[in-house]
Structure 1
Amino acid sequence: MRFKSREYPGYDKDPMHGMSHEAKLIRDAWAFRLLSEDEKCEGWRSDQFEQLWSQVDAIWEKADFRIANLPPEVQDKYMKLQMEALRKAKAAGWDPDGMLELDD
């Protein structure tokens, strides 16, 4: 996973209303208890996100990248975080069809 070299503004200030790669990674880390939900990653740079991604990816790999293979309490936490993020993003005007952006 590659992240831009800029500093991340923080989960609550995510430019894609919580739907950026960084925000999705943060929610996974919250669900997996790698980060407390108080940690919004404000000011984080790409190297910090890459380290977190390695930890999150290791957990997903053990679960064969399937939500159903996560422990029930983690599944519940994961789904609550995802549904709340989706609700907030849509309320803020996020359009899932706008996600079809191509990076150079």
Structure 2
Amino acid sequence: MNSRTQQTYVGIHNDLHGGMTPIGGIIKDAWIFELLPETETCEGWTTAQIQVLHDKVNATWDQYGLRVSNLPPEIRERHTRIHDQAIEKARSMGWMPGRDSDAEM
């Protein structure tokens, strides 16, 4: 998120390591479940909008018992593609697993 006075999200492509943050994870999962088109970066979204999306993503994950292995093949393939691309991009930007949060977010 931007400064506390603005309270809007910078967008997944402008986020730390291309979105390897909790909010970036919500957006990627929304793409996986087609709750958002993959062209939607959520740039400029408020915390309230992100929370609504988070709730929708969680409700959808609940339908599959929170397990990738329970996803239908089409969704599982989309999950693999989106997350593999995100990991590859993040690593090229210096991302190291476990260091995926920003103190200002």
Shared fold per TM-score greater than 0.5: yes
Which residue of structure 2 lines up, in the alignment, with residue 84 of structure 1? 85
Give the TM-score taking structure 1 as reference length. 0.86
Q: State the Cα deviation string for residues 32-90 of structure 1 (Å, max 9, x = none).
A: 00000111000111111110111110111110000111111000001110010000000
CA distance in 2: counterparts of 1:9 and 1:53, whole angstroms: 16
Which residue of structure 2 lines up, in the alignment, with residue 43 of structure 1? 44
Instruction: Summarize the Cα distance change of 1:96–1:37 in structure 2 as closer, same or farther, 3 Å threshold.
Output: same
Runs (5+) with no aligned partner, structure 1? none
Relative to its length, the structure with more helix (as a share) is: 1
Give the TM-score taking structure 2 as reference length. 0.86
**Code of the aligned partner of 2:92:** A
Partners of 1:17 and 1:94 within 8 A in 2:
no
CA distance in 2: counterparts of 1:13 and 1:22, whole angstroms: 12
Runs (5+) with no aligned partner, structure 2? none
Instruction: Summarize the Cα distance change of 1:22–1:68 in structure 2 as closer, same or farther, 3 Å threshold.
Output: same
RMSD, matched Cα = 2.1
CA distance in 1: counterparts of 2:96 and 2:35, whole angstroms: 29
Which residue of structure 1 lines up, in the alignment, with residue 75 of structure 2? 74
Higher relative contact order (CA 8 A, sep 6+): 2
The percentage of aligned residue pairs carrying the same residue is: 35
Moved over 6 A (4+): 100-103
Instruction: Summarize the Cα distance change of 1:10–1:99 in structure 2 as closer, same or farther, 3 Å threshold.
Output: closer
Give the secondary-structure state (helix, strand or coil) at the position aligned to 1:60: helix
Partners of 2:16 and 2:102 within 8 A in 1:
no
Deviation at 1:95, TM superposition (A): 1.5
